[in-house]
Amino acid sequence: MAWWLWPLVQLVVWCCAGVLGVLWWLWLTRLRVDLPGPPTVPILGNIPEFREVPVKIRNARDLHREYGDLIRFYMGPKLVVIVLHPDDVQHVLLTSKMVDRTYFVRRVLRIFCGDGLLTLGGRPWKFHRKLINPAFHSELLEGFLEAFHEGGLYLCERLASTGGTAIETYNPALKAALRNIYDTVIGIKHDLLLPDDVSEDEMAGAMTDAMISITSILTRPWLHSKFLLKLTSKGRHVFKMTRMLEDATMNFITMRSATTEEGFTSKRLNLVESLIKPGGQPVMPLSEIRDEIMNLALAGTETTAVTMGFLLALLALHPEWQDAAQQELREVFGRGGDFLRPASAADLGCLKVLESIIKETLRLFPAVPMMFRDATKDLWLSRLGVLVPKGTTLAFMPFITHRLPEFFPDPQKFDPSRFLKDRDGKEHVCSYIPFGLGARNCVGSQYARLQLKVFLSNVLRHFRILPQSCREDLEECILTVSHQPVKPIEVSCVPLHEHST
């Protein structure tokens, strides 16, 4: 035996013993709270609950059924309190004004999209949010309607290409949303931003892989390292796509910052014009501008694509509501040659049934299925008289909060009438939070709602939607930062004869 082998073995053993000792000390000194929760395993806590990959939403629903609206949970030694009742949600997100997302969640998201609104905390986040808010001002959204209409027509073309056979909704909806983000928020045609050797299908696949990977990484701390993540095949593929998009985005930003063009108007303001002033002067480092574009490209397209899938599948399963929406569209757009015209702001304001369908879909399948905050001080949740210690991670799950029967009777039922005018406003202010709540709510929530309305109005003026996915398929979703179904959502789109595409 080589002389150095035995010292090496001793070094490895002592290192492992040291790591184990630190982990054991962290476990013994962990934060504690007087709340019910699943049995724990020393050092690992409740991580074994997530041994099945991908982690399913039903895991969280099972915990709610067994332990109630406040649940104690441990990710290793890290204390997590799951907060589900609207009274407690309101107290934490509005009254206590806790705005920072949990650090370990932001750290994982940073792997895929760098430093932006999704991943920053504290003063840097406030600075970025202040600069980006004007690009999503409600007064500017009307100027995006033409782009939304073009995105809706693109989606209709992709749906029509199947000739009425089954089609997965995610890819065409994501491509349409991606084109809109480039054309409106970023201000450049999509075909100029994507590298020639990167297809939209590849980009859509990479985004899907990233979303599915996030929960696995969150529940497996050893994958928080980029180095270890790159050892997995999916990790390498996602990083490849991310690098390509980063490089293409940076090339565009560099060109844009070098321009001397003057005379930007507020009506045409987009994100890049907010961050790179006339004359080419950036208001923050170019790498941070790149990361903000990456953040918004991820958040502003993936959630729209998933929600469109749920919308079409639910309308296919509930033809009575599809009939009601199409009747409303005929009343607003008429039946003549003008029926397929681009929707104006006045048209969209009249589509109350369509709006209620979107709201009810987001109740059952919210765009943001879970949110995290760090308790920056001791927090008293008075509803159950529980003191949550400083340093606790607070988890909010709208997909459960939205289905509490005391706020939404018969909560599993798809019933858009809940959100029609005569029912609106009767629920708890925090019983319905599909885009988050408080200071860190989704900056593009109005943008997303308007885009979904335009997309859906286009699709329903072109097609009759028939079911291919059952309700059970829709309910089987992955627990991640967007509402990803385990099985791809499929529908059949049969062209309406009088208005075929």
**Do β-strands 78-83 and 393-396 pair in parallel, antiparallel, or remain unpaired?**
parallel
Q: In whole angstroms, how far apart are CA 262 and each of 149, 188, 256, 265, 280?
A: 29, 17, 12, 9, 9
User: Is the predicted pLDDT of residue 262 greater than 60, yes or no?
Assistant: no
Domain contains 3? no
257 vs 438: which has the higher pLDDT: 438
Average pLDDT, integer, range 80-92? 91
Which residue, among 364, 270, 324, has the nearest Cα to 460 in the 3D structure? 324
User: Is residue 180 assigned to a domain?
Assistant: yes
Name the amino acid, one letter, at 24.
W
pLDDT band at 1 (very low <50, low <70, confident <90, very high): low
Dist. CA 253–CA 286, nearest whole Å: 7
Residue 314 lies in a domain: yes
* pLDDT of 330 higher than 90: yes
Q: Is the model's pLDDT at 249 over the cut of 90?
A: no
**Which strand (E) or helix (H) includes residue 362?**
helix 352-364
Pick the most confident of 194-198, 202-206, 293-297, 443-447.
443-447
Residue 132 has pLDDT above 70, yes or no: yes
Q: 137, 106, 114, 77: which is closest to 392 by C-alpha?
A: 77
Q: Quick check: 423 pLDDT over 70?
A: no
Between residues 12 and 401, the one the model is more confident about: 401
CA dist., res. 123 & res. 107, Å (int): 17
419/285: higher pLDDT? 419
pLDDT digits (tens, 9 = 90+) for 311-322: 999 999 999 999
- Best CA proximity match to 128, nearest among 271, 240, 253, 317: 271
Neighbours of 430 (CB within 10 A): 22
Query: Which of 159-168, 250-259, 260-269, 378-387 has the lowest average pLDDT?
Result: 260-269
Whether residue 333 has pLDDT greater than 60: yes
| Contact between 453 and 346 (Cβ < 8 Å) | no
Q: Which of 238, 306, 360, 292 is nearest to 481 (CA)?
A: 306
Rounded Cα–Cα distance for residues 321 and 459 (Å): 14
Q: Around Cβ 79, how many Cβ atoms within 10 Å?
A: 23
Cβ-proximal residues to 412 (8 Å cutoff; 6+ apart), any chain: 403
Please give the pLDDT value at position 216.
67
Q: Is residue 478 part of a domain?
A: yes
Percent of the chain with pLDDT over 90: 32
350-382 pLDDT, tens digit per residue, is 999 999 999 999 999 998 888 888 888 888 887
Residue 212 phi, psi dihedral angles, 5° rounding: -70, -35
Residues 6+ apart with CB under 8 A from 443: 117, 129, 132, 133, 136
- Report the predicted TM-score, pTM, of the whole model to 2 decimal places: 0.88
pLDDT surpasses 60 at 346: yes
When pLDDT is cut at 50, 70 and 90, the band that residue 500 belongs to is very low
pLDDT of residue 118: 78
394 inside domain: yes
Band of the pLDDT at 501, cuts 50, 70, 90? very low
Domain of 77: which CATH number? 1.10.630.10
Residue 308 in tokens: 């469109």
Q: What is the pLDDT of residues 283-298, one digit of tens each?
A: 788 788 888 888 887 7
When comparing pLDDT for 179 and 65, which is higher?
A: 65
Mind listing the pLDDT tens digit for each residue in 26-48? 888 899 999 999 999 998 888 88
Instruction: Let me know: does 394 contact 81? Beta carbons within 8 Å.
Output: yes
Most confident of 75-89, 249-263, 451-465: 451-465
30: left (phi over 0), alpha (psi -120 to 50) or beta: beta
Structural domain includes residue 423: yes
């309406």: which residue's tokens?
A: 496
CB burial of 109-133 (b: ≥16 within 10 Å; e: otherwise) equals bbbbbbbbbbbbeeeebeebeebbe
Asked, for residue 449, whether it belongs to a domain, the answer is yes
End-to-end CA distance of the chain: 77
**pLDDT on residue 424:** 47
How does residue 194 score in pLDDT terms, banded at 50, 70 and 90? low
Higher pLDDT, 52 or 155: 155
Count of CA atoms in the C-beta half-sphere (13 A) of 161 = 10
Averaged confidence pLDDT in the chain: 82
**What's the confidence (pLDDT) of residue 23?**
83
Number of folded domains that form the chain: 1
- Whether residue 204 is contained in a domain is answered as no
**Per-residue pLDDT at 425:** 45
Domain that holds residue 69: 29-105+138-196+299-499
pLDDT at 451: 94
Distance CA 47, CA 433 (A): 27
What residues contact residue 222 under an 8 Å CB cut-off, 6+ apart? 228
pLDDT at 343 over 80: yes
Long-range residue pairs from 322-331, CB within 8 A, at least 24 positions apart, any chain: 322/460, 322/464, 322/465, 324/353, 325/353, 325/354, 325/357, 325/456, 325/460, 326/460, 326/461, 328/352, 328/353, 328/354, 329/354, 329/457, 329/460, 329/461
Cα gap 31→12, rounded to integer Å:
30
Return the pLDDT at 338: 84
**pLDDT classification of 471: cutoffs 50, 70, 90:** very high
Short-list 378, 187, 395, CA closest to 273: 187
**Secondary structure class of 51 (helix, strand, coil):** coil
CA gap 429, 302 in Å, rounded: 26
Q: In terms of pLDDT, which residue wins out, 254 or 324?
A: 324
Q: 3-state class of 277 per DSSP?
A: strand
Q: How are beta strands 490-495 and 276-277 bridged, if at all?
A: unpaired
Q: Which two tokens stand for residue 498?
A: 């009088």
Fill in the DSSP letter of residue 33: -
Residue 264 has pLDDT above 50, yes or no: no
Among candidate residues 419, 415, 299, the one with its CA nearest the CA of residue 352: 419
